[in-house]
């Protein structure tokens, strides 16, 4: 396959960026999108040009590091996959493909296609955990009976890999799906209940501080999320937050 | 700016948006039901009776104030959400395929709301201002009773307001189609069993209300009523 890539190039956080055209040939349809970029970078290095910076790590859809807004969609066309799981067979010979970084105030560009997603870490640190007393009186997790349905739902929420596709996709740049997943994975389980109110309040407060937008229920995040996290979790966060706001001391 | 408490945070702004939206929806039901009285085809006698009641009853007039407050809250809250959401993405995408993952109207609530507001200003100017402030012709033999029906006939004689009213109601349709179901989600009501019911009720409600409102200027303009 021969393709034309239109890639966002930006030398540094403060630098002015622009879209640069790169023709690529000999693209196999069995390559992943990231492998295609590897080949292009190889070429660029050989020519003495600066390779395109992009994020990646596990390359099997479990770490959430790869990102990329490809042809107007987070992680490109295809559902329930990350960019490292996107294959070139999704494209046709002669296609022009736009490759851009996540765009959000909470995800500033560091270089080219790499953004700083530490805002997610700060949201998580604000309350996305369960405090455990480790002074020798640990309780066996299996000693607490949990209905299978709740355990499954908590597991679905815990599948969130923190990639940020929800923010990138949302027309409002809202991080609600991520925060909702991180709140739900605990609030559905008895171990998460004692801190549920504080957690919802603190994580939403941090989310707002980071400059993410307000959810308007377009549902775009749910569709582009590689882990297919459901809007149901956003409704749960709305409920938990409302109760916590009204009843907090 | 810290965004917290019962007014500041992003989520609470959404709760208010949902609550005021549902409140305004309840008003639409009353408004549409009373206006539909013109279809008795009795020269507006029944309609004028209801209009007189709505304009003079103390409870209704108090509710009218609450209604305006609700409307203003909905507008101010909406403007705040809209401006924050704009700053949440300082650099736009060169290529963005919104059609892949959302309906156009769910992502256009601000524009639709603005169109509605413009329509509403015109609408209030046509009917609310004369009936409540500047005064209207009285019904022959009934002092103190405004003939709001004749005013409708007068306004919808020329085609320009008729077209603007139809466009206003079309904006209302799309605004409600997202807004109705969205309000439930914002309040945390999302349940596999009830989601389809909420969606269908919202779609039916948006269509019925908008068509009902559209039918009135059309019926009057094309002289389908006596
Ligand atoms: S909710 Fe989905 S899209 Fe958002 S960060 Fe988690 S996995 Fe990524
Ligand atoms: S590189 Fe880990 S999810 Fe894509």
Domain B10-88+105-221 has CATH 1.10.260.40: no
Write out the H or E segment, with its range, that includes residue A22.
strand A18-24
Tell me which chain B residue has its CA closest to the CA of residue A166: B101
- A193 in Cβ contact with A187 (< 8 Å): yes
User: B138 to each of B98, B135, B149, how far by Cα in Å?
Assistant: 53, 9, 11
pLDDT in tens, A64-90: 999 999 999 999 999 999 999 999 999
| Closest CA–CA distance from residue A243 to any residue of chain B (Å) | 10
Tell me which chain A residue has its CA closest to the CA of residue B18: A216
pLDDT in tens, A199-244: 999 999 999 999 999 999 999 999 999 999 999 999 999 999 999 9
C-alpha B79/C-alpha B17 separation (Å) is 11
C-alpha B139/C-alpha A21 separation (Å) is 74
Place of tokens 């020798």: A136
Whether residue A72 lies within 8 A of chain B, CB to CB, comes out as yes
| Closest CA–CA distance from residue B12 to any residue of chain A (Å) | 8
Burial label, A195 (beta-carbon count in 10 A; 0-12, 13-18, 19+): middle
Selected residue with higher pLDDT from A17 and A138: A17
Q: What is the DSSP string of A192-244?
A: GGGGHHHHHHHHHHHHHHTT--------HHHHH-TT---HHHHHHHHHHHHHH
The whole-chain average pLDDT of chain A stands at: 95
Cβ–Cβ gap B94/A105 under 8 Å: no
Cβ–Cβ gap B190/A169 under 8 Å: no
Q: Tell me if A57 CB under 6 Å of ligand 2.
A: yes
Q: Which residues of A touch B109 (CB under 8 A)?
A: 216
Find the chain B residues whose C-beta atoms sit closer than 8 A to any C-beta of A: 2-6, 9-15, 81, 84-85, 87-98, 100-103, 106-107, 109, 178, 181-182, 185-190, 192
Q: Which residues of B touch A73 (CB under 8 A)?
A: 97, 100-101
Q: Tell me if A226 CB under 6 Å of ligand 2.
A: no
Closest CA to A103 of A67, A138, A142, A157: A67
Cβ–Cβ gap B87/A211 under 8 Å: yes
- Output the CATH code of domain A117-247: 1.10.1060.10
Q: Give the domain ranges of chain B.
A: 10-88+105-221
Cβ–Cβ gap A235/B13 under 8 Å: no
Ligand 1 centroid, distance to A160 Cα (angstroms): 5
The tokens for B112 are 């639709």
Count of A–B CB contacts within 8 Å?
146
Q: Tell me if A196 CB under 6 Å of ligand 2.
A: no
Intervals of chain B under pLDDT 50:
1-3
C-alpha A198/C-alpha A190 separation (Å) is 15
| Closest CA–CA distance from residue A200 to any residue of chain B (Å) | 11
Which residues, at least 6 apart from B20, have a Cβ–Cβ distance to it below 8 Å?
Answer: B70, B71, B73, B74, B77
Cβ–Cβ gap B95/A98 under 8 Å: yes
- B127 in Cβ contact with B161 (< 8 Å): no
Cβ–Cβ gap A215/B14 under 8 Å: yes
Phi/psi class of residue A144: alpha, beta or left (left: φ > 0; alpha: ψ in -120 to 50)?
beta
The tokens for B115 are 């169109």
Q: Give the domain ranges of chain A.
A: 3-111, 117-247
Q: What is the DSSP string of chain B?
A: ----HHHHSHHHHHHHHHHHHHHHHHHHHHHHHHHGGGGG-STTHHHHHHHHHHHH-HHHHHHHHHHHHHHHHHHHHHHHHHHHHHHT-SS--SS--GGGTS-TTTT-HHHHHHHHHHHHHHHIIIIIHIIIII--PEETTEEEEE-HHHHHHHHTTSHHHHHHHHHHHHHHHHHHHHHHHHHHHHTT---TTTHHHHHHHHHHHHHHHHHHHHHHHHHHHTT---
ipTM (interface predicted TM) = 0.92
Tell me which chain B residue has its CA closest to the CA of residue A68: B93
Task: Name every protein residue with a CB atom under 6 angstroms from any ligand 1 atom.
Answer: A 160-166, 177-178, 181, 225-227, 229
Which atom of ligand 2 approaches the CA of A59 most closely?
A: 1
Q: Tell me if A59 CB under 6 Å of ligand 2.
A: yes
C-alpha A204/C-alpha A93 separation (Å) is 45
pLDDT in tens, A90-144: 999 999 999 999 999 999 999 999 999 999 999 999 999 998 877 777 778 788 8
The tokens for A110 are 């560091």
- 3 state DSSP class of A25: coil
- pTM of the complete model: 0.94
Q: Which residues of B touch A98 (CB under 8 A)?
A: 94-95
pLDDT in tens, B13-71: 999 999 999 999 999 999 999 999 999 989 899 999 999 999 999 999 999 999 999 99
Whether residue A211 lies within 8 A of chain B, CB to CB, comes out as yes
- A23 in Cβ contact with A2 (< 8 Å): yes
The tokens for B78 are 């909406």
Ligand 2, atom 3, residue with closest C-alpha: A61
Place of tokens 């209009």: B51
pLDDT at B6: 59
User: A144 to each of A141, A190, A191, how far by Cα in Å?
Assistant: 6, 8, 9
User: B59 to each of B12, B13, B35, B55, how far by Cα in Å?
Assistant: 30, 29, 19, 10
Whether residue A210 lies within 8 A of chain B, CB to CB, comes out as no
Q: Which CATH number fits domain A3-111: 3.10.20.30, 2.60.40.1930, 3.40.47.10, 3.40.50.360?
A: 3.10.20.30
Whether residue A173 lies within 8 A of chain B, CB to CB, comes out as yes
pLDDT at B7: 64
Q: Which residues of B touch A180 (CB under 8 A)?
A: none
| Closest CA–CA distance from residue B87 to any residue of chain A (Å) | 7
């Amino acid at each position: 396959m021969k393709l034309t890539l239109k890639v966002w190039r930006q030398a540094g956080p403060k630098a002015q960026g622009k879209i640069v055209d790169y023709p690529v040939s000999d693209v196999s349809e069995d390559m992943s999108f990231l492998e295609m970029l590897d080949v292009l970078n190889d070429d660029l290095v050989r020519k003495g040009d600066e390779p395109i910076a992009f994020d990646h790590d596990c390359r099997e859809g479990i770490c959430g590091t790869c990102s990329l807004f490809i042809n107007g969609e987070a992680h490109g066309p295809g559902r329930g996959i990350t960019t490292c799981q996107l294959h070139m067979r999704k494209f046709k010979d002669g296609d022009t493909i736009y490759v851009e970084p996540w765009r959000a105030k909470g995800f500033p560009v560091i270089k080219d296609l790499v953004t700083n997603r530490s805002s997610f870490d700060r949201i998580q640190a604000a309350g996305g955990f369960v405090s455990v007393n480790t002074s020798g009186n640990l309780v066996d997790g299996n000693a607490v009976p949990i209905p299978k349905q709740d355990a499954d739902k908590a597991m679905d929420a815990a599948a969130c890999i923190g990639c940020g596709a929800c923010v990138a996709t949302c027309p409002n740049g809202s991080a609600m799906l991520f925060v909702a997943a991180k709140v739900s994975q605990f609030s559905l389980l008895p171990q998460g209940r004692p801190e549920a109110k504080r957690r919802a309040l603190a994580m939403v407060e941090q989310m707002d501080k980071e400059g993410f937008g307000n959810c308007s229920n377009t549902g775009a995040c749910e569709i582009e999320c590689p882990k297919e996290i459901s809007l149901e979790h956003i409704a749960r966060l709305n409920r938990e937050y409302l109760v916590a706001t009204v009843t907090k001391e | 700016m810290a965004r917290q408490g019962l007014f500041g945070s992003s989520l609470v702004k959404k709760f208010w948006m949902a609550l005021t939206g549902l409140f305004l929806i309840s008003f639409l039901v009353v408004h549409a039901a009373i206006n539909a009285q013109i279809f008795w085809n009795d020269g507006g006698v029944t309609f004028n009776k209801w209009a007189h009641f709505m304009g003079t009853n103390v409870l209704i007039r108090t509710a009218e104030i609450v209604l305006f407050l609700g409307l203003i809250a909905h507008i101010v809250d909406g403007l705040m959400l809209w401006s924050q959401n704009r700053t949440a993405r300082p650099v736009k995408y060169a290529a963005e395929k919104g059609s892949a993952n959302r309906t156009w109207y769910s992502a256009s609530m601000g524009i639709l709301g603005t169109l509605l507001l413009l329509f509403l200003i015109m609408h209030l100017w046509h009917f609310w201002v004369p009936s409540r402030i500047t005064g209207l012709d009285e019904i022959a033999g009934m002092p103190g009773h405004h003939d709001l029906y004749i005013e409708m006939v007068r306004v919808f004689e020329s085609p320009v307001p008729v077209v603007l009213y139809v466009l206003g109601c079309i904006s209302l349709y799309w605004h409600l189609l997202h807004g109705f179901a969205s309000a439930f989600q914002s309040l945390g009501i999302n349940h596999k069993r009830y989601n389809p019911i909420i969606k269908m009720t919202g779609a039916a409600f948006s269509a019925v209300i908008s068509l009902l409102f559209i039918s009135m200027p059309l019926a009057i303009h094309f002289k389908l009523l006596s």
